Amino acid sequence: MLRASAAVERVGVPTVSIISSGFLKQAAVVAKGLGLPEMAIAEFPGVPMTQSKAELRRQVIEQLLPRVIEGLSKPVQRQAAEREVLLPEPREIVFRGDFDALQEHFHQQGWSDGMPVVPPTLERIAKFLKFTERDANEVIGVMPPANRVASVWNVAVNGVMAGCRPEYMPILLAVAEIVCTPEYKIEDAGSTPGWESLIVLNGPIVKQLGFNAGQGVMRMGKQANTSVGRFLRLLVRNIAGFTHAPEGADKGSIGQSFLVALPENEDAAADIGWAPYSVDRGFNAGDNVVTVQSVVAISAPTYSGTEKAEEHMKIIADVIGERACGYWSAIGMVYANWHPLIVLGPSIAKVFAQDGWRKDDIRRYLYEQVKMPASRAEHYAYHCGQTGFRVTQAVKDGLLPPAYHESDDPDRLIPVFQRPEWIGIVIAGDWGRNQSKGYVCNHVQGVPTSRKVRLPQQWEALLAQAQK
């Protein structure tokens, strides 16, 4: 809402943004980043979705309308969007002291995620910069809402702090490039669902750098997986400005912890004749590829035990499709953009392949078999605040496919998965167990975005030296 108001105000038309009490601090941070720190805001007291109609009417008449009128009466005040100057300059010494004192200082400054950080000394940063041919001062992008510049230098700084090894630097740069792209919408990473960004890795670099793609793939404990996942959380915190509300822009109502990086087991994919996830994303097999997407919810561990592919699919469709994805798919319908990810254990993927199934068969089954009543989707959307959403109207507007309006029956069954090709499939995890898991994307916020990893020309020599 604030971004739309800013666009209108820039052409000289006054606006008032109606913001409920719990969002006021976040609104102030966003407005400042948009270059409109004096943007008129009318506070709606309390939580609108939990109030009675009579209470809503009273609040609107007695408190909200006077604030709207007052805001529209003020002249528009514009200025250029500010870039925060709160970050230290490159090579600036920000602290001298022992390890414990440094931890306290970084915590007080809001530069840590609550866990101990590795001190980002100039010597440690220099080791990271050896693993890229890019200039340390190169600007990768500007990260809203704080509008701080993400550079090669501060990527290295946050990589050091996260406990990464210097040779991870090419991956860190690819991650930073992705979250700086407009289509990723990192400015929405502080929205109330509290979504996190998940990194998926493909290519020879997975083995070269010792990533774990097997048992416990999503557990903390393996340095590569854990530190690269933590790096992204620190980057979003320190550059984009997503510290906890009320001081910062992170409004995640309950939230979840950061996700470790997820490498695909490409050997397992090759053994069954399937292309890796990176090929599904448009790259060549053998390319080193980073994909980042939002995760707003994770399914229960999904066990299926049979030698028949369709029997596995019935369980996956029930637990991952209907139960984990069904509820949040309604919000995907509202925004007409939704990209769930399914992680298949190697033993499960092998059964599919042996029974003649490809990944497209899995996607088609989920699209055709996992459905819900249209009225239920509207009901779910309503309680998330999308009170005007109607499935039929979304079809008429071209936002949803015709399959969502085959009749006017409010209880007609509609697909949970909007488009089969939007379902991501990755092979990873324990080969000795029969488990799969689903990761639910947060619609247009954090859509899967991929980049090829750019390795320095002397990659092999640098890697050999670092791993001595």
Which residue's entry shows tokens 């230098």?
A: 153
- Residues 39 and 463: their CA atoms lie apart, in Å, by 51
Q: What is the 8-class DSSP label of residue 87? A: S
Supply the pLDDT for residue 24.
Answer: 65
Using CA atoms, how far residue 344 sits from 102, 312, 319, 362, in Å, is 42, 11, 13, 11
Whether the CB-CB separation of 455 and 292 falls below 8 Å is answered with: no
pLDDT digit string (tens) for 69-93?
776 776 655 554 444 445 677 788 8
Using CA atoms, how far residue 390 sits from 124, 294, 377, 386, in Å, is 55, 25, 9, 9
Hey, is 59 helix, strand or coil? helix
Six token digits for residue 52: 């009675």
- Residues 44 and 55: their CA atoms lie apart, in Å, by 12
Which positions of the chain have pLDDT values less than 50?
80-85
Hey, is 66 helix, strand or coil? helix
Supply the pLDDT for residue 35.
Answer: 63
Global pTM?
Answer: 0.88
Closest by CA position to 188, among listed 384, 362, 1: 1
Closest by CA position to 429, among listed 301, 256, 297, 311: 301
Whether the CB-CB separation of 420 and 280 falls below 8 Å is answered with: no
pLDDT digit string (tens) for 115-164?
999 999 999 999 999 999 999 999 999 999 889 999 999 999 999 999 99
Q: Which amino acid is at 269?
A: A
Whether the CB-CB separation of 17 and 39 falls below 8 Å is answered with: yes
